[in-house]
Amino acid sequence: MSDLEKILDQLVAGNEEEAKQTFHSMVVQQSRDEYNKLEQPVQEAVDESALRAWYDKYSKYEGTNNSNLVLGMIKAWTDTGILSDAYEDGEWADYLNKLGKDSDELSDEEFDAFLTPENAPISYGMQANITKIMGEWDGEETMNKVDDMLQSMGIEF
């Protein structure tokens, strides 16, 4: 018997309070169901083949922390907080040479100016592509999702 049939039977039997409680329970359950649908991980909507292609493309590069670039990006946003870990080593070295500075000498503006298509086509492309694949860029939250998804696909770091 559906909830609506139950409510109708309760009303016909003159149990208005019981019908109200049943109706309330039905609405609350429907609201919970709708909320849970919204809380489904973004992962379900993400094309795993696109994520795999992204991983394959960028993991062949070395990051500034001597790991593959994808791992560097995940660690930068979820663990170390050192954003240059998400930068391709050669691009970062070239940028520092161009400025004639060490990374610890950069102003915030100089640091922020690195991640452009002109200065860092690989590093910039990696972030732009994962944003497109994931449908969002929210730094740590996005990279936690990426890490979880890669692990669920059997890619361990």
Cα radius of gyration rounded to whole Å, the chain: 25
Nearest by Cα to 133 from 65, 71, 48: 48
**The model's pTM:** 0.67
Q: Are residues 13 and 53 both part of a single domain?
A: no
Q: Are residues 93 and 60 both part of a single domain?
A: yes
> Is the pLDDT reported for residue 113 higher than 50?
yes
- Higher-scoring residue by pLDDT: 45, 140: 140
34 in a domain, yes or no? yes
Question: What average pLDDT does the chain have?
Answer: 86
125 in a domain, yes or no? yes
Q: Are residues 13 and 86 both part of a single domain?
A: no
Q: Are residues 83 and 139 both part of a single domain?
A: yes
d(CA 44, CA 36): 14
Task: Give the chain's domain count.
Answer: 2
Q: Are residues 93 and 53 both part of a single domain?
A: yes
101 in a domain, yes or no? yes
pLDDT digits 0-9 by tens, 73-96: 999 999 989 988 999 999 999 999
Bridge partners (DSSP) of residue 88 are 63
Give the pLDDT confidence score for residue 93 in this predicted structure.
94
Q: Are residues 26 and 55 both part of a single domain?
A: no
Q: Are residues 103 and 142 both part of a single domain?
A: yes
Q: Are residues 79 and 53 both part of a single domain?
A: yes
54 in a domain, yes or no? yes
Inter-helix orientation angle 140-152/48-58, to 10°: 100
Q: Are residues 58 and 7 both part of a single domain?
A: no
Q: Are residues 91 and 32 both part of a single domain?
A: no
pLDDT > 70 in the chain, percent:
89
d(CA 156, CA 152): 9
pLDDT digits 0-9 by tens, 43-73: 455 788 999 999 999 999 999 987 899 999 9
State which residues form the domain around 27. 3-38
And the tokens for 34? Answer: 């709708």
157 in a domain, yes or no? no
Q: Are residues 11 and 82 both part of a single domain?
A: no
Q: Are the CB atoms for 55 and 155 separated by under 8 Å? A: yes
Q: Are residues 33 and 51 both part of a single domain?
A: no
